[in-house]
Amino acid sequence: SQSYFGVLRGLHFQKSPYEQSKLIRVVKGKIQDVVVDIRKESNTFGKYISVELSENNKNQLFIPKGFAHGFLVLSKVATVLYKVDKSYNPISESGYRYDDPVFNIKWMLDKKDVILSDKDKQLPFIK
């Protein structure tokens, strides 16, 4: 995917039986990448990690099934590559709000600078 400064995508995941594991990397630009544990039976349910992925640091992030994923573009433009273990299925697509208070994610930009798609604006809160 290619996005511009301030664009926030997520928090997205695929519902069962089409859950995906993903390997994410940035080939151009820089993002804040966030992964949230949404497995209700997990000891770390609702917890998240946040990492910076960029063309300079060349880091990658593995996201297992059962986690929601989102990213925020911190550079003028960012190109993000996904490697997935199962094909995308539109009927299984789901997500939660990026600003859900249960997750309390510390995004690297002020809310006023965040750009959301109409679809992501409609995502529900987890409760």
Indicate which residues carry an active-site annotation. 12, 82
Do residues 70 and 13 touch, judged by C-beta distance below 8 A?
Answer: no
Residue 63 CA to residue 92 CA, distance in Å, equals 17
Map residue 85 onto helix, strand or coil: coil
72's CB contacts (< 8 A; 6+ apart) are 6, 7, 8, 31, 32, 34, 107, 108, 109, 114
Please tell me the distance from the alpha carbon of residue 121 to that of residue 101, in angstroms, as a whole number: 15
